[in-house]
């Protein structure tokens, strides 16, 4: 099998035995046997079709900003979406799925196109942001993405905003694992660049205080709780236990619940919770996937015992 995989991947410049810790912002994980960068849509599609036809396990990844990698490594092929580039036409921005979301925001801000400026500083790629319907400070990807070019397991197709089935930190791509975003179009508002750039700069400052550049973390670990997705009785029960001022835009912050059960400063092995935010897991040095799972399970149990709600992880396990 190894010889077959090597022969299939050799035309694509595959790398062997790559550290997963170097591919993820959390900085944990064993060795990935093969890594291939797909720098255009044809290459990505050709790769996934070839691998699938030979029943070779693979995963398509982006910047690794929301991934918890396994300690035992990954025996299949990692295909990294490296399709980059931005084209602006009127009030629309066309962008490759592997382009950094923050870089896209800087580009459209400078062009005087608003609507995603408050998501500045969110790590990861555009494809990853669509996959998880990324959002911050009142803006979400679903609000501005109009259509994506995606591989649906059989063909490249246009997937509209409605067909993407966006939800809170989710989309159709989480449910249909064979679907991959190749590129996307964002419909934006023409406006003055200066206030856009000012807003983004202020938000990046806030995010930098919370997530220092050298902090090995995946961002928020657990999802906040969207009250409208709960039953009426579940929502009422949770509201009765959480101060009203803590509920923001219909969401109960996971960090608040975690802090109430003693999360601040907790540590298992090399994985620690920040002293100032209960939903910020980071690698304090030598952390492992086993440490992450143990700490996450313990805290989810504590929250469920105290509040009657099981937190859902926002991170993705490879």
Q: What is the pLDDT of residues 133-144, one digit of tens each?
A: 999 999 999 999
310 given a catalytic annotation: no
Question: What is the per-residue pLDDT across 18-73, written as a single tens digit (0 to 9) for each?
Answer: 999 999 999 999 999 999 999 999 999 999 999 999 999 999 999 999 999 999 99
Alpha helices in the chain (DSSP H): 2-9, 41-53, 101-110, 126-131, 172-175, 193-210, 232-241, 254-260, 289-307
What number is the average pLDDT over the span 185-200?
98
- Of 2-6, 147-151, 304-308, which range is least confident? 2-6
210, 282 Cβ separation under 8 angstroms: no
Selected catalytic residue, list 106, 169, 268, 272: 169
Q: Look at residue 253 and give its three-state secondary structure.
A: coil
The domain segmentation of the chain, as residue ranges, is 2-81, 86-207, 212-317
Output the pLDDT for position 3. 84
221, 291 Cβ separation under 8 angstroms: no
220 given a catalytic annotation: yes
Rounded to an integer, what distance in angstroms lies between the CA atom of residue 72 and that of residue 81?
Answer: 23
Architecture of domain 86-207: 2-Layer Sandwich (3.30)
Architecture of domain 212-317: Alpha-Beta Complex (3.90)
Torsion over CA: 154, 155, 161, 163 (sign): negative
pTM: 0.94
pLDDT at 180 over 90: yes
Question: What is the per-residue pLDDT across 266-294, written as a single tens digit (0 to 9) for each?
Answer: 999 999 999 999 999 999 999 999 999 99
Rounded to an integer, what distance in angstroms lies between the CA atom of residue 284 and that of residue 294?
Answer: 15
Chain-wide mean pLDDT for the chain? Answer: 96
Selected catalytic residue, list 84, 117, 220, 268: 220
What fold does the segment set 2-81 form as a domain? 3.30.43
Structure tokens at 24: 């993820």
């Amino acid at each position: 099998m190894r010889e077959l995989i090597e022969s299939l991947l050799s035309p694509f410049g595959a790398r062997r035995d790559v550290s997963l810790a170097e591919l993820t912002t959390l900085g944990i994980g064993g060795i990935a046997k093969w890594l291939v960068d797909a720098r255009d849509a044809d290459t990505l599609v050709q790769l996934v079709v070839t691998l699938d036809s030979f029943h070779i396990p693979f995963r398509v990844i982006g910047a690794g900003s929301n991934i918890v990698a396994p300690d035992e490594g990954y025996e299949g092929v990692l295909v990294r979406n490296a399709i980059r580039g931005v084209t602006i036409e009127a009030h629309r921005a066309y962008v490759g799925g592997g382009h950094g979301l923050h870089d896209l925001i800087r580009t459209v801000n400078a062009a005087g196109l608003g609507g995603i400026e408050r998501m500045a500083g969110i790590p990861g790629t555009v494809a990853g942001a669509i996959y998880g319907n990324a959002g911050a400070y009142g803006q979400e990807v679903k609000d501005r993405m109009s259509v994506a070019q995606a591989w649906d397991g059989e063909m490249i197709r246009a997937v509209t905003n409605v067909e993407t089935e966006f939800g809170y930190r989710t989309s159709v791509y989480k449910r249909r694992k064979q679907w991959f975003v190749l590129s996307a179009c964002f419909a934006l508002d023409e406006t003055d660049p200066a206030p856009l750039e000012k807003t983004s700069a202020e938000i990046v400052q806030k995010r930098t205080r919370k997530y220092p550049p050298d902090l090995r973390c995946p961002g928020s670990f657990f999802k906040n709780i969207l009250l409208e997705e709960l039953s009426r009785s579940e929502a009422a029960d949770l509201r009765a236990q959480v101060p009203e001022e803590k509920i923001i835009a219909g969401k109960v912050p996971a960090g608040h619940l975690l802090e109430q059960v003693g999360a601040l400063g907790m540590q298992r092995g090399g994985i620690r919770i920040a002293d100032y935010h209960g939903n910020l897991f980071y690698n304090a040095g030598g952390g492992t996937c086993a440490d992450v799972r143990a700490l996450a399970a313990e805290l989810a149990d504590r929250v469920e015992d105290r509040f009657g709600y099981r937190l859902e992880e926002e991170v993705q396990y490879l």
